[in-house]
Amino acid sequence: MTTHTQEFSTHLDQMNQTRRVVQALLIGGLVGAGTMLFLAPQSGRKLRANLQKKTHELREQTADTVKDAVAQVKSRSHQIKGDVREKADDLQHQGVDTLVEQLDRITAAVEAGKKALKGSR
Read off the pLDDT of residues 44-65 as tens digits, 9 standing for 90 and up: 788 778 878 988 998 898 888 8
pLDDT for the residue numbered 37: 66
Is residue 88 exposed (0-12), middle (13-18) or buried (19+ Cβ within 10 Å)? Answer: exposed
C-alpha–C-alpha distance, residues 12 and 1, integer Å: 17
C-alpha–C-alpha distance, residues 80 and 20, integer Å: 22
Q: Which residues of the chain have pLDDT under 70?
A: 1-2, 4, 37, 40, 42, 121
**pTM of the shown model:** 0.47
Among 26, 96, 86, CA closest to 59:
26
Give the DSSP H or E segment for 58.
helix 44-120
C-alpha–C-alpha distance, residues 1 and 43, integer Å: 64
Among 70, 27, 30, 68, CA closest to 51:
30
C-alpha–C-alpha distance, residues 66 and 70, integer Å: 6
